[in-house]
Structure 1
């Protein structure tokens, strides 16, 4: 007969086991320990070190800076388009050049800015929030950045040499097929998609492995910060959705390069296949962009309202349900294509249902502010601007989820207004708040509060002036993707207001960049936790050292820096003479094993160059698929060639 369960004895046993692993560190920043760790984890100096770095913080900074450069380039194109549309019958640019401008603007913003900047911030912040010293697969992380940079350079070099794509950022067939788009413009666009999707998939795999297996001991799934939950959902969405657009662009390249007929209805192909594949990715991408922003909002609201987010389980379930529902909405982009009417009701219902989890999150954020002690610093102002703007965009989204209304408003400027309200209001506002929030952690300097507030009000008011009139222009019948319009049909004032507002937004973004540059040069120095935030990234120096933490922290609650005010409990037993981190179990985050971390390597960069040459050359000849694979294989073999470890991975020492 089994003895009865003794909970007190079991608790004592668990406490004794925990004492073997965790202790209160008497000196978290010992000079000797820091020196030894810095020597072990530092990146080599010089050009070789820059090209071979696998430090997630360095890679995250590169992602962020590169994405902001692409934001600036895409913004310049948008200003040129708005100047063209500022008055009727304008001839600032030609029709063909305008096609290039809106294709480059949309492709840059969607594929080279919005998704990469969200992944870049996650690559930098998530390991710090999890209390670990690196990401999983750090060399794959470096490879993902080089692939992203290669795709962006290819697209913009093509623009400089006047062979930019002119098929729209959605590249609908048959207009993007060989019959209607001769030359290489469409091929360049399709291959840019391949670059960015390989990059995004690699970064998503890195994030999933890091979140599931490298959390600090005690950080159970229930204790994970909401932003980390958001990025785990986003990474899973990337893994399941982006192969669809990679497949669609691959089929398009095949039709154009070797004469297949996947999208040619005359040869039993299907032009609508493109839209199904593209929008199966395209609508989840909207939430791939939005959900990280929702994570930003949760962290900012929590910190600046001085209390945990209200109903955290509801917020997390809303993130997960949004990620699931996002895969059932793509046909609402295709209501005007003549699909069977019976299916429309299902997609209408799903399009309206997806507003429910988002609405729940908004109510939880408002409840947190209502019940907390809000401090209206710049990051929280951007959150408030986000809530107002995103609600307007969400309401217009519910309107166009209805098939009769969508048939009237489809391909009008009403859709342009909705799209920008959702993406700029729903992603860029939280992004600017997040950059302001984590700027002291990344740089060790505080941004100017005065300039920040001026910039916020400029961008918030300028945005409303720029995009709200587009609803009116769309209702008045202004089609999308037109480069001019006649006078006397009621479109002059909405377009003039939109142009004025866009110039104000551009000025505000420029002011934000000036604020960053000035603060980086001579801003007030930030301590480890200038906002008195509750999550682990604020438990280390600003900016963090190459090894992130002297000791891996242990977590005992959802807000560890508020729960333990004196000093965090930490894990001991990791080596300091070799790169090593701790792996934990998926659900409970119990210590599982010590894992070696790869050192800096040039092979991810060389592999990315080889793959880039392969992709670019395949635009011009199908033989590239044969001969271009050879250098790729050589680089990958060198990358994965077995290396002798000085020792084998060991279990955690008790």
Structure 2
């Protein structure tokens, strides 16, 4: 049980045997960051291939493998486990709980991820196996006909990740409903906990459906069944099953970032979040409506027009609770004293980019517009503005906000953190805004090359330059992290001042009093 005292072995044994929620949270984050680097390199290679029309720095098959691997790693092995890491670390602290409800199950949830990641990436390390090359969605009939063994490993890896997420979701719900401290009620717990509660419910109800889809796909590939191809099979059935999970998965990735934004915006505006209860209920509304919009990804499949209208209407309605959250963040800042530290910069970048992603999402929810831009780079740009502009900027906002809490009081360099933000923010817009234009001009996504006379070269080159600016920003972050661990100043309390939040009140993270020559500073001085 959570009340049991944890042993604290040293060195590698600590990390291999720990059941402490804080250690497991760190394991989640660093494992996710390793997959992020692999996925990021794959993205840069894809952009290099598209820099000039007609150039071949790789084969078409390798190109397919890279964009498929990029999408899979970024969604399932970077954003989702990184956010789960923050939840593991901070939800029990915010709830004043001693640990997660089931510490050993919590450890198991993490330790299923590395083997799943290795199965998904097997083509990179095992001779004779090709990495998944049918896109991150795995649509049949191509995914049934492809003889690549790596595709079977990819499917089994995703199923294993689903098991890990299911165990984690049950654990979070048990912790939130059964482990809260005496002073923490549902209606006053931090919004990050509300977001994690909704995320866990989304996963719990959507994962079984996509697990069935992946299992049926494995059967079609290896046992001769015809769920999705052949007599009686229907490839559109796979799309329904996949997107019944896939669209809630979008909110699985963005709702925890919403919770992070609420914490950061409130802290660095020096006032309580505006409209706490409306923010909490908006989270539940988004999660509930997320199950009613899956087929807006399928307007071109020939569904009944009445179904198209229904899914279009629900896709427009879901913008309302999302808009409430954006309005309340802006209202919080409007009445506050804004402190533009790195966490707040990333939070404001999140809002700007996510609003663009949201507006273009409303455009895509309209059937006539979607029919014209479906499967073009307009959709790629929208998805990245929502997921990268939203979830990833939220991850870095959380990281810079909670860094000293997570890493024994070590502080980072403020100037380098701001350079990281501006490189990533500018690079992101340079990389992905031109893709809206490319989509409107008709450039299809997932193409290996394009004609020199198509008029797409300039926009593709800008997109590639933006990708490398993002990469430069990540490199600055890594240098800053290394500096923080080796020579960073030490803080002995919440470095941001203002109202003390629950996660900062426990003193288990506070380093010993500084000895001679050990810097101990507040955030204002760590620059």
Q: Is the 1:440–1:542 Cα contact (8 Å) retained in structure 2?
A: no
CA offsets, 1:301-336, max 9 Å, x none? 111111110010110111010000111111000000
What is aligned with 1:565?
none
Q: CA deviation at 1:375?
A: 1.0
Match of 1:537 among 484, 503, 519: 503
Is the aligned partner of 1:167 residue 2:122?
Answer: no
Cα distance between partner residues in 1 of 2:214 and 2:5: 43
Question: Matched residues in 2 for 1:255 and 1:175: separation?
Answer: 12
Aligned-pair CA distance for 1:47: 4.9
Contact 2:196 2:255 in 1 (8 A): yes
Aligned counterpart, 2:331: 367
| 2:61 aligned with 1:96 | yes
Given the alignment of the two structures, is residue 109 of structure 1 paired with residue 67 of structure 2, yes or no? no
Q: Look up the match of 2:226.
A: 261
Among candidates 165, 173, 176, match of residue 143 of structure 2: 176
Task: Check if 1:222 corresponds to 2:187.
Answer: yes
User: 1:527, 1:541 within 8 Å by CA — same for their partners in 2?
Assistant: no
Does structure 1 conserve the Cα–Cα contact (< 8 Å) formed by 2:192 and 2:263?
yes
2:523 aligns with none
Deviation at 1:534, TM superposition (A): 3.4
Determine which of 507, 524, 528 is the counterpart of 2:472. 507
Q: Which residue of 2 aligns with 1:395?
A: 359
Aligned equivalents of 1:39, 1:213: Cα separation in 2:
16
Match of 1:409 in 2: 373
Q: Secondary structure at the match of 1:480?
A: coil
Q: Is the 8 A contact 2:282 2:321 kept in 1?
A: yes
Alignment of 1:112-131 (within 5 A): 112-131=77-96
How many residues in Structure 1 have an aligned counterpart in Structure 2? Answer: 506
| Cα offset, 1:185, TM superposition | 2.4
Q: Does 1:419 align with 2:386?
A: no
1:238 aligns with 2:203: yes
Distance 2:82 2:189 in 1: 22
**In 2, distance between residues paired with 1:441 and 1:273?**
47
1:326 paired with 2:290, answer yes
Alignment counterpart, residue 239 of structure 2, candidates 240, 262, 275: 275
Q: Distance in 2 between matches of 1:409 and 1:158?
A: 32
Which runs of structure 2 are paired with 1:486-565 in the superposition (5 Å)?
486-532=451-497, 533-541=499-507, 543=509
Aligned match of 1:643: none
Secondary structure at 2:454 match in 1: coil
Cα offset for 1:48? 4.6
Q: Hey, what does 1:53 align to over in structure 2?
A: 18
Q: Answer yes or no: is the 8 Å Cα contact 2:101–2:174 preserved in 1.
A: yes
* Number of the residue aligned with 1:558: none
1:114 and 1:289 in contact (8 A); partners too: yes
Q: Give the superposition deviation at 1:40.
A: 4.3
Q: Name the TM-score, length of structure 1 as normaliser.
A: 0.76
Q: What is the distance in 2 between the residues matched to 1:101 and 1:50? A: 31
Conserved 8 A contact 2:6-2:19: no
| TM-superposed deviation, 1:165 | 1.1
Is the Cα contact below 8 Å between 1:448 and 1:515 reproduced in 2? Answer: yes
Q: 2:525 maps to what in 1?
A: none
Query: 2: distance between equivalents of 1:48 and 1:302?
Result: 39
1:39 CA displacement: 11
What per-residue deviation string (whole Å, max 9, x for no partner) do you get for residues 326-377 of structure 1?
1111100000001111111111011111111111111101111111111111
The 3-state SS of whatever aligns with 1:461 is helix
Who is 1:598 aligned against? Answer: none
What secondary structure does 1:488 align onto? Answer: helix
Q: What residue number does 1:357 align with? A: 321
The TM-score, its normalising length taken from structure 2, stands at 0.94
Contiguous gaps of at least 5 residues in structure 2: 512-527
Aligned-residue offset at 1:393: 0.9
Paired with 1:85 and 1:118, the residues of 2 have a C-alpha distance of 31
The one of 379, 384, 399 equivalent to 2:348 is 384
Structure-1 separation of matches of 2:5 and 2:467: 49
- In structure 2, the partner of 1:309 is 273
Q: Which residue of 2 aligns with 1:574?
A: none
Contact 1:226 1:316 in 2 (8 A): yes
Cα distance, 1:43 vs structure 2 = 2.5
**Aligned match of 1:299 in 249, 255, 263?**
263
* CA distance, structure 2, for counterparts of residue 275 and residue 413 of structure 1: 20
**Does residue 199 of the first structure (1) align with residue 164 of the second (2)?**
yes
Change (3 A) 1:270 1:215: same
**Pick aligned residue for 1:141 from 77, 93, 106:** 106
CA distance in 2, matches of 1:122, 1:146: 16
Question: Which residue matches 2:422?
Answer: 457
Q: Does 1:436 align with 2:400?
A: yes
> 1:360, 1:519 → 2: CA distance?
37
* Higher CA-based Rg: 1
Instruction: Answer yes or no: is 1:336 the counterpart of 2:303.
Output: no
Long gaps (5+) in structure 1: 1-37, 546-654
Q: Distance in 2 between matches of 1:48 and 1:296?
A: 31
1:476 to 437, 441, 457: 441
| Contact 1:526 1:542 survives alignment (8 Å) | no
1:43 equivalent in alignment to 2:4: no
Alpha-carbon distance in structure 2 between the residues aligned to 1:526 and 1:541: 12
Structure 1 distance, partners of 2:360, 2:85, is 30
> Aligned equivalents of 2:262 and 2:71: distance in 1?
28
Name the CA distance, whole Å, in 1 between partners of 2:274 and 2:218: 49
Structure 1 position 542, deviation (Å): 5.9
- How much has 1:49 moved relative to structure 2? 4.3
